[in-house]
Amino acid sequence: MKKQLDIIGKGIPKQDAGLRASGRAVYGQDIVLPGMLYGAILRTEYPSAAFSLDLTDALTLPGVACIITADDVDVNRISYKRDHPVLKQGEVCCIRDEIAAVAAETREIAEEAVRRIKVRYEIRKPCCDPFDALQEDAPTINRFAGGKFSHKNIAETFHYAHGDLEAERARSKIVLSRRFSLPRMTHACLGPSSITADCDIVSRKLTLYSSTQVPFLYQRDMAHALKMPPSDIRIIQPIIGGGFGSKLDMYPFEVICALLSMRTGRPVQIVYSRKEEFIASPTRQPMIIDLTAGVDAEGKFTFREVDIVKDNGAYTSWGATTPFVIMQAFSSLYKVRACRFDAKAVYTNNVFAGSFRGYGNPQATFALERMIDLLAAAIGMDQAEIRRINANEPGEITGQGLHYETCGHGECLDVVIRQSERVRNTANGGASRLQGRYRSGVGFASMLHVGGGAKIYRSDGCGTTVRIDPYGHCTIITGSTEIGQGSETVLAMIASEELGIAPDRISVINSDTDVKPWDVGVHASRTSFVAGNSLLGAIAILRKKLESKARQLLQCGDAELAFRNGLIETEDGAAHVALDKVVREMHFGEPNELAVANFFYEPPSQFQDTGFKGNVSGSYAFAAQAIEVEVDCCTGNVKVKNVWVAQDVGKVLNQMLLEGQIHGGVLQGIGYALYEELLMDGGYIINPNFHNYKLPTASDVPPIHFHPVETYDRHGPYGAKGVGEAPLIPTAAAIANAVSNALGVEISSLPVTPEKVLRALEEKNHKMHLA
């Protein structure tokens, strides 16, 4: 029998929503420290060039405290490949490159000083296409690349295989090959990137007010860059104005700000302008995916062969490791008997890509789900049916070794197929089918994502300290990070459920590396799962201590006790004692002990072997979406009319916050599908503003019909799985399938702009004329 839950599952507003709505929340750009200077960065004007600097003019400007260039600093290169110099020396490789930095009394003086730095460039021809960069005679783009691959411009490779590919090819009834191309999308967090660095000139210790998503990895990376002990660096996380993966890496501007503070002995702040945010913060990986896939006579998937070329840009970030996730979609989404996967990240003189909600999965899912529609059409099978008969199942261990102890894939598909059925029949059967100005279509897509963390770092754990003060107030000190998703609130709800303390008597401390225990960071949809389990572990220890004292006070032998409404009571409610009294008796009487407990939780997952096989997550999340679109064949505009979402969340922890993740994720997916592309031309970004880079607005939101599927995973807190990334992952694929369904054309790249729609229609008409 499941325990009756009083708080978990309810729709409770975010704990700090009132603070954020009041305007009193302090974001990075709101910090002001005494004596603070303002930093500004000079970036290159050309994507590929040699350069020399003349600082004379800038240095004489009154109010300039300090200017640094590569010649002035002793630092290590950054990124996990250590291929990225913080300040560039003598040559630049992309339009983002930092060549000097100023600290000054005001922002205006800092910006003026940057303008006064004279740079002489010797311009080189940039190499902006990854296929050009792979030619034998291509220039060396990153001279710090390790050189351990077959070509000097390859930054990283991944190879994976399972099953007998040739046997599966032979038994396939249909084999299709297609090329898919995916654009650069950028996070466009509303809060611009910022950092405030404060170096204590006496102790030489450094405090950084940073919006990082991964404070402990960041602390270590910063220490490596600055050649100082990690413990001398304290990371304080102010309230973060949006993350979505953009704050997973440490970037040059953050090291630069630390250097300026160390140099001047004063606090220094750098806040990006919006243009800088577009140019100098990371993007989703653009990539070309060549996919060959087969299906047998019954409609069962036989094999997938995948070759991916990713445009890495000039330097490597965690984004280069997205094939970890991409290969999971190809190897393990729907049952497939054989798979070969090869991906390479190739250096170019474009801006470097990073990690973005979904971590490669939206790209993979787009290619895979488009291909499934093509295979279905080729064997004459319904698009819903082919997905249903190949769906993943509970208990399945995939070719890659992912163990689906629980799996709601089939149920998710059933739900969206059923809910969209009426609309689908109208769209497919109506008189307007494939003719007339406005044409409707419905598309499907599924997704598989890690739902219980992802062991890609040596530990995927999270530490928690939980304590109750003598007045009955509970404090949770968690290693995990809040970036707006509401994890603090979920943790407070868990503590409330388990300790019988009202949520408003629980606070969560999570923003200071000198205080909070270690955690790997907020990514991989892991926080509620990993931090939630960590908290439950700490609470179990704390409850034992409290129960022992309560039994003594209640003189109730070893009766079962319950924590309810601020009381500890016998199960039948006959005898009870106030929780705060128990805490005081623990402190002031025997055993003279604090009501505090620590716990470190490591998910039951495996580090994958060199062939990328192993059960990398504590659980797996599944989802399916069905999307209805209406296409205007005169203008090429695509309007999303309805989105049906069914997602295996394990167990709903907070209905309201869950819906918030679904709505926000789906709308980002709609942006990816229809509007968003950071355009590069010859190494330059040509749309670095909200006017030309289109984010979806309030008017672009269709009705989103969300149905959570609960599968109760035994490893999750109350059965819950990760949810944050999932809603974005299948959206673009489902929209592309819907457009294809409406028009009878192939869609093989994103975003599906009006121009692409019209061109596809034109090609189709041309072909019909020829026929």
Contact residues for other proteins, defined by CB under 8 A: 11, 13-14, 17-18, 20-27, 29-30, 32, 187-192, 239-244, 273-274, 483-486, 656-657, 659-660, 662-668, 689-691, 695, 697-699, 701, 704
Contacts of 357 (CB under 8 A, 6+ apart): 244, 245, 665, 668, 724, 725, 728
Task: Evaluate the CA torsion angle 387, 393, 399, 405 in order and state its sign.
Answer: positive
CB 360 within 8 A of CB 322: yes
Cβ nearer to other proteins, comparing 40 with 568: 40
CA distance 414 to 317: 39
Query: Which H or E run includes 569?
Result: strand 567-570
Can you give the length of the chain in residues? Answer: 771
Which residue, 401 or 671, is less far from other proteins as judged by CB? 671
- Smallest distance, other proteins to C-beta of residue 107, A: 8
Angle between helices 655-670 and 731-743 (to 10 degrees): 50
DSSP letters along 59-99, please?
HTSTTEEEEE-GGG-----BTTTT-B-SS--SEE-STT-EE
**Residues 410, 388 contacting (CB under 8 angstroms):** yes
Whose Cβ is closer to other proteins: residue 236's or residue 695's?
695
Closer of 141 and 638 to other proteins (Cβ): 638
| Residue 319 Cβ vs other proteins, minimum distance, rounded to whole Å | 19
Q: Which pair of structure tokens corresponds to residue 296?
A: 């047998």
To which H or E segment does residue 165 belong? helix 165-171
Smallest distance, other proteins to C-beta of residue 96, A: 19
Residue in the structure block whose two tokens are 């783009």: 141
Handedness of CA 492, 497, 501, 504 (dihedral sign): positive
Q: How far is the CB of 666 from other proteins (least distance, A)?
A: 6
Instruction: Look at residues 296, 290, 301 and name the one whose alpha carbon lies nearest to residue 170.
Output: 296
Residue 661 dihedral angles phi and psi, to the nearest 5°: -65, -40
The sheet that has 338-347: what strands, in order across it? 154-162, 338-347, 301-313, 287-295, 174-182
Closest to other proteins by CB, 202 vs 698, is: 698
Give the whole-angstrom CA distance, residue 489 versus residue 104.
40
Closer Cβ to other proteins, 20 or 335, answer by number:
20
Name the minimum Å distance from CB 273 to other proteins: 7
- Terminal Cα-to-Cα distance of the chain (whole angstroms): 65
Assign 3-state DSSP to the chain and report helix, strand, coil percentages, each to 5: 30, 25, 45
Residue entry with tokens 């009705």: 703
Write the single-letter amino acid at 754: P
Nearer to other proteins, 438 or 690 (CB): 690
Question: Which positions ≥6 away from 544 have C-beta within 8 Å?
Answer: none
Q: Whose Cβ is closer to other proteins: residue 375's or residue 652's?
A: 652
**Could you write out the DSSP letters of every residue in 286-306?**
PEEEEEEEEE-TTS-EEEEEE
- Using CA atoms, how far residue 770 sits from 622, 759, 764, in Å, is 44, 17, 10
Pick 148 or 691: Cβ nearer other proteins: 691
Tokens of 524: 């991989």
- Phi-psi category of 193—alpha, beta or left, where left has phi over 0 and alpha has psi -120 to 50? beta
Least separation in angstroms between CB 203 and other proteins: 29
Output 241 or 451, the one with its CB closest to other proteins. 241
The Cα 383–Cα 442 span in angstroms is 10
CA–CA separation, 464 and 19 (whole Å): 24
Helix H or strand E encompassing 280: helix 274-280
- DSSP annotation of 716 reads S
Between the alpha carbon of residue 268 and those of residues 31, 34, 39, 159, the distances in Å are: 11, 10, 6, 44
CA distance 536 to 318: 30
Distinct helix (H) and strand (E) counts, the chain: 19, 28
Q: How many CA atoms lie within 13 A of 390 on its CB side?
A: 29
- Provide the strand spans (E) within 454-531: 462-468, 474-478, 506-509
